Amino acid sequence: MFTFDQLAGFIAVAEELHFGRAAERLNMTQPPLSRQIQKLEKIVGAELLERDNRKVTLTSAGEAFLDEARRLMALAERAPVTARRIASGRSGVLRVGFTAASGFSILGPLLGELAGIIPDVDIDLQELVTGEQLSGLLTGELDLGLARPPFDSETFDSHLLYRESMVVAVPAGHPLTLLARDITAEDFKDEPLIMHSPTQARYFYDLVVRMLPIRHANVVHTVSQILTMVSLVAAGRGLAFVPHSATLLGIKDVEFLPLEAGRGEEVELHALWNRRITNPALARLLRDLEFAME
């Protein structure tokens, strides 16, 4: 394999068409340059220059090789620059997981903010439930998650993004929508309930269980995605407790009713990340966010 010095030498000679001047340009003397080119030609296996003891010309193979040589040099000069940019967090890829619910509320503004702080970093978005985000953060497939508690604060660091209240999704025209007052637990006694999955959406499940004594009899479905829940409500399969941002989904034939004051616990959405940060772009983001918060 040839060396970069040989390429640089060849480029210089090809441009000057004169060994002496090329050598001067390269801050060396002519003899080693001559040998460099000879060696290069031997490695390439083709004559690149025609020496005619009075002038130097490029062969057609030499012209083609000059192209390649320039390309190689340009690439070789750029490579460390990009590597340094990534190491400093100024560019690269940030893999962000988000839950369906957050996608309809905070994700847009958050992306705008990210674009302000790390504009050269590509954001790779993946919609995942909290559990998937946690395992993604552990394996390093994900850099940042937008998810709900609980998660292990030993391994994950986090920042509270916002709280929102829970509301009840009911099919349009349902008797409860006619109530003049806020909803209470009593109102659900005989209503079929679409429940959160205790494994996939543990946070909501625990929350709802805490809010009202469940009557398992009435649980008609257990699902993990808010969107799915609301769709089922729209289809008249029952009621569901969903975070307020679900109202932004724009699903037809569903109404959202506020819960009795005090009973409507609030749910949280956190930005969270693995404490063992490996992605410089994330390190930079967090550092700049710290500054912004103080």
Cα separations in angstroms, 205 against 27, 120, 122, 149, 196: 73, 39, 34, 11, 5
Q: How far is the CB of 264 from a second copy (least distance, A)?
A: 25
**CA–CA separation, 109 and 145 (whole Å):** 15
Given the complex with DNA, which of 40 and 195 has the nearer CB atom? 40
- By the rule CB under 8 A, 205 interacts with a second copy: no
- By the rule CB under 8 A, 142 interacts with a second copy: no
Which long-range contacts link 149-155 to residues 24+ away (Cβ below 8 Å)?
Answer: 149/203, 149/268, 149/270, 150/202, 150/203, 151/270, 151/272, 154/275, 155/274, 155/275, 155/276
Residues in the chain: 294
Per the listing, tokens 């004169």 go with 18
- By the rule CB under 7 A, 54 interacts with DNA: yes
- By the rule CB under 7 A, 55 interacts with DNA: yes
Beta bridge partners of 274: 156
- By the rule CB under 8 A, 131 interacts with a second copy: no
Given the complex with a second copy, which of 207 and 229 has the nearer CB atom? 229
What number of chain residues touch DNA (CB under 7 A)?
23
- By the rule CB under 7 A, 1 interacts with DNA: no
- By the rule CB under 8 A, 27 interacts with a second copy: no
Q: Residue 97 in 3-state DSSP?
A: strand
What number of chain residues touch a second copy (CB under 8 A)?
56
**CA–CA separation, 58 and 14 (whole Å):** 7
Q: Which stretch binds DNA (CB under 7 A): 53-61, 138-146, 185-193, 203-211?
A: 53-61
What is the secondary structure of 200-242 as a DSSP string? TTHHHHHHHHHHS---GGGEEEEES-HHHHHHHHHTTS-EEEE
Residues 6+ apart with CB under 8 A from 43: 1, 2, 6
Among 178, 180, 217, 261, binds a second copy (CB under 8 A): 217
- By the rule CB under 7 A, 73 interacts with DNA: no
- By the rule CB under 8 A, 43 interacts with a second copy: yes
**CA–CA separation, 217 and 240 (whole Å):** 15
Q: Are 59 and 66 in contact (CB under 8 A)?
A: no
User: Which partner, DNA, a second copy, none, binds residue 60 by CB below 5 to 8 Å per kind?
Assistant: a second copy
Return the residues of window 72-111 that contact a second copy according to CB under 8 A.
72, 75-76, 78-80, 82-84, 86-87, 92-93, 100, 103
Q: Which stretch binds DNA (CB under 7 A): 37-45, 89-97, 107-115, 253-261?
A: 37-45
Please give the backbone phi and psi of residue 191, each rounded to the nearest 5 degrees, phi first.
Answer: -95, 140
Which positions lie near DNA, rule CB under 7 A?
3, 5, 18-20, 27-39, 51, 53-56
Which positions lie near a second copy, rule CB under 8 A?
1-5, 43-48, 50, 59-62, 64-65, 67-69, 71-72, 75-76, 78-80, 82-84, 86-87, 92-93, 100, 103, 122, 124, 126-127, 139-141, 199, 216-217, 219, 222, 225, 227-228, 278-281
